[in-house]
Structure 1
Amino acid sequence: MSDEDDLDDFEPELEKEEDEKETEEWEDYKKEGEEFSEEWMPVPLTENMMKEGLSLLCKTGNGLAHAYVKLELKDRDLTDINLLHSYIHLRYVDISENHLTDLSPLNFLTHLLWLKADSNQLRTARLNELPYLQIASFAYNQITDTEGISHPRLRSLDLKGNHIHMVTGLDPQKLNSLHTLELRGNQLESTLGINLPKLKNLFLAQNLLKKVEGLENLSNLTTLHLRDNQIETLNGFSMEMKSLQYLNLRGNMVSDLGELAKLRDLPKLRALVLLENPITDETDYRQEALVQMAHLERLDKDFYEEEERIEADEIRQRIKEEQEQEAEPEHDLELDQPLV
């Protein structure tokens, strides 16, 4: 696949859909939050509910036996799923939109591949190591930390809309398959603790971040979302982030054009979003971004035109010549000094 094909992922239309989705999900989350304080009547999982929710008959074990491996129990007002511990062949489980506080019965489901437990009342995502789990979603709960997540084949982890202040316990040795981490809409005050070198997509929008730190070694990261935080400077980016293509800093507090130079060392950065930052009010904002990052293809929602590239090239050349001229007199001065 060419670089031009990859850029399709960053089309403005896609970004517009993403903006609308973020707003809609956030409003739903706030409504759900108002219900968290209610007392729920106990509703345990029953065999009848299991019969209604089970599907996808597959071979198990040595191939001579069969079992249903998919379970959908969405929006059943469940408070207890203890019955699940005996359904050890389950591979796909959706228990979202219930009133669950305990997922420990899932520890017995060692064949689990896919888990969705969104919109419950969970305070932790901690589970025993599940050897085959690849996708796990715990969005819109009341989770306060990232401890106890150590599934070796986990590829995508969704923790958006929780109450996480710091990322801790994510061991890169155990989570060596994780490529997508969603932490949007938490209360993160730092980006420390996300030292996951295999990570490709990181979503940190709608938090309380004031700076970027501890991400310098994410050499496989291609997409980084930091929208709607409180970031003022563009420190924390390095040449080691050699795969980063898309950076969204919309709705932050960057005000100095000089900060753009700090993104110069990102060799593959092609799409940058800085809408709703004070810096966008500067007259030379768009031009300065291209002067600092010659490889940039899109700023905010607009692609650069050829005329803009030519002008940016001329400015870079002029700056280079001025710097060389400034260095020459100093050199001449040293030659003119009398010998002692």
Structure 2
Amino acid sequence: MSETEDTHEEGGGEEEMENDDQLGEEESVEEEEKIPDNPLTEEVIGESISLLCKTGDGLAHAYVKLDVSGRELTDISLLKMFIHLRYVDVSRNNLRDLSPLNTLSHLLTLKADYLKADSNSLTSVKLEGMQFLQLASFNSNNIKSVEGISESNLPLLEHLSLNFNEISQTTGMDASKLPRLHTLEMRGNKLETTSGICLPNLRNLFLGANTIKNLDGLERLKSLTTLHMRDNQLESLKGFSENLKQLQYVNFRGNNVASIKEVGHLKVLPMLRALVLAENPIAEEDDYRLEVLIALRKIERLDKDEYTDEERTEAEEIHEQRKLEETNEQEQEKEDVNESETAQDESAPEQ
């Protein structure tokens, strides 16, 4: 074998050794990152179960509350056997699959916040057979779609919390699957619009810290009383409807509303009493508080500060003055039109 060939083979061996070392390091890192299996055991259940109650048929007693939060669990298959559970908290574990909970037909509340596994998190949720579920919380996971929830039949669910996930659309959230839902929390997701929520019984909607640019589909939320939209990207407040007869509180803090004229889109809300517009460009305008009150004279509080009687009197006076000026301008315009028409008639040649 030549000297050149010897050198090449030696170099190739060194490269292979380096590659082997790198692969070994990567595998070592993966092993370190991989979360070890830690299934739920009967022993843990025994430590965490409580609240003895009558079973649904009233013929026996069973423990109905389970709190196994923060135990680094990776598998809760054992819960399939505990069909009488009504209150379950599996938050802060390493779960990727909640399907064992679908056998818990008597479940009333479910907390599943901060579920993490490997570098992933809970990416979807589908709840089957939970006809009595009233509260469900899936905050701080990696859920990308509400499809699983919108496909689930949850006739008694009243409060759903999906804060700080990766949801970009709310398509399919309608009353046929969620007829009694009154509170929906979706702060800190990736929503760009309010479209897709068709829940006429919804009363409280929290959509802060998204990237919402447009207000769409709000006319469907006939029972809405509270709307939180802070820290979004709204420039216009167009999108409100006369159908929102119950809406009393709206929070637009930290958006991009720059014109006082945008407040006029809220005149269709007969019950609006509290409005937050702080940290918008509009809040830097002269007479900001006064101009908002002139536009919305039934409002009681702006940015958490109640209006005084003096402010109300001043706003009413300015409103009446502007109304009078507008009427005079309209009458003047009519006179100008009449004079113009008369002049044209007089200048027209006789036939």
Q: TM-score range by the shorter chain?
A: 0.7 to 0.9
Aligned to 2:73: 78
Cα distance between partner residues in 2 of 1:163 and 1:279: 30
Q: Does 1:87 align with 2:90?
A: no
Match of 1:30 in 2: none
For 2:127 and 2:138, locate their aligned partners in 1 and report how far apart those are by CA, in whole Å.
Answer: 12
Structure 1 residues 187-206: aligned runs within 5 Å: 187-206=190-209
Partner of 2:162: 159
Distance 2:248 2:226 in 1: 6
2:178 maps to 1:175:
yes
CA distance in 2, matches of 1:240, 1:61: 40
Q: Is the 8 A contact 1:122 1:142 kept in 2?
A: yes
Q: Out of 53, 57, 61, which is 1:58 matched to?
A: 53
CA apart distance, 1:196: 0.8
**Which 10-residue stretch deviates more, 305-314 or 126-135?**
126-135
Find 2:280's aligned residue among 277, 280, 289.
277
- The count of corresponding residues between Structure 1 and Structure 2 is 304
Matches within 5 A, 1:189-228: 189-228=192-231
Aligned-partner Cα distance in 2 for 1:122–1:331: 66
Residue matched to 1:19: none
User: Does the CA contact (< 8 Å) of 2:51 and 2:63 recur in 1?
Assistant: yes
Alignment pair present for 1:264 and 2:267: yes
- Runs of 4+ in structure 1 over 6 Å off: none
Give the alignment partner of residue 97 of structure 1, picking from 71, 75, 92: 92
How far, CA to CA, are the matches of 2:246 and 2:129 in structure 1?
30
Please tell me whether the aligned partners of residues 148 and 169 of structure 1 are also in contact (alpha carbons under 8 angstroms): no
Mapped partners of 1:206, 1:220: distance in 2: 23
**AA at the equivalent of 1:86:** M
Question: Are the counterparts in 1 of residues 208 and 228 from structure 2 also a CA contact under 8 Å?
Answer: yes
Letter in 2 for 1:77: E
* Identical pairs, percent: 54
Aligned partner of residue 147 in structure 2, secondary structure: coil
What is the TM-score when the length of structure 2 is the normalising length?
A: 0.84
In structure 2, C-alpha distance between the alignment counterparts of 1:92 and 1:85, rounded to whole Å: 14
How far residue 169 of structure 1 moved from its aligned partner, in angstroms, is: 2.3
**Aligned residue for 2:62?**
67
Unaligned runs of 5+ in 1: 1-36
How far the C-alpha of 1:185 sits from its partner, in A, is 0.7
Equivalent residues of 1:45, 1:80 under 8 A apart: yes
Residue 61 of structure 1, CA deviation = 4.0
Q: CA RMSD in A?
A: 1.5
CA distance in 2, matches of 1:203, 1:324: 41
Superposed displacement of residue 127, structure 1: 1.6
Structure 2 equivalent of residue 131 of structure 1: 131
What amino acid is the match of 1:316? H
2:34 alignment partner in structure 1: 39
Separation in 2, partners of 1:241, 1:278: 26
Shift of 1:44: 0.3
For 2:189, the equivalent position in structure 1 comes to 186
Deviations 1:55-108 (A, max 9, x none): 111111432211111111010100100001111111110100101110000110
Q: Say which SS state the counterpart of residue 218 (structure 2) adopts.
A: coil
Matches within 5 A, 1:228-247: 228-247=231-250
Match of residue 327 from structure 2? 324
Contact 1:128 1:148 in 2 (8 A): no
Residue 158 of structure 2 aligns with an amino acid whose one-letter code is R
Residue 261 of structure 1 aligns to a residue in which SS?
helix
TM-superposed CA distance for 1:334, in Å, is 5.4
TM-score by length of 1: 0.86
Q: For residue 216 of structure 1, give the secondary structure of its aligned residue in structure 2.
A: helix
Q: Deviations over 1:94-142 (max 9, x none)?
A: 1001011100001100010110011102111212141100000000111
Q: Which amino acid in the other structure matches residue 328 of structure 1?
A: E
| Cα distance in structure 1, aligned partners of 2:336 and 2:269 | 37
Deviation track 1:209-252 (CA, whole Å, cap 9, x = no partner) reads 11211112312111111111111111111211111111111111
Counterpart CA distance in 2 for 1:318 and 1:129 is 62
Counterpart Cα distance in 1 of 2:122 and 2:179: 25
CA distance in 2, matches of 1:274, 1:191: 19
Give distance in 1, aligned partners of 2:39 and 2:129. Answer: 25
Counterpart Cα distance in 2 of 1:328 and 1:57:
78
Q: Which runs of 5+ in 2 are unaligned?
A: 1-31, 116-120
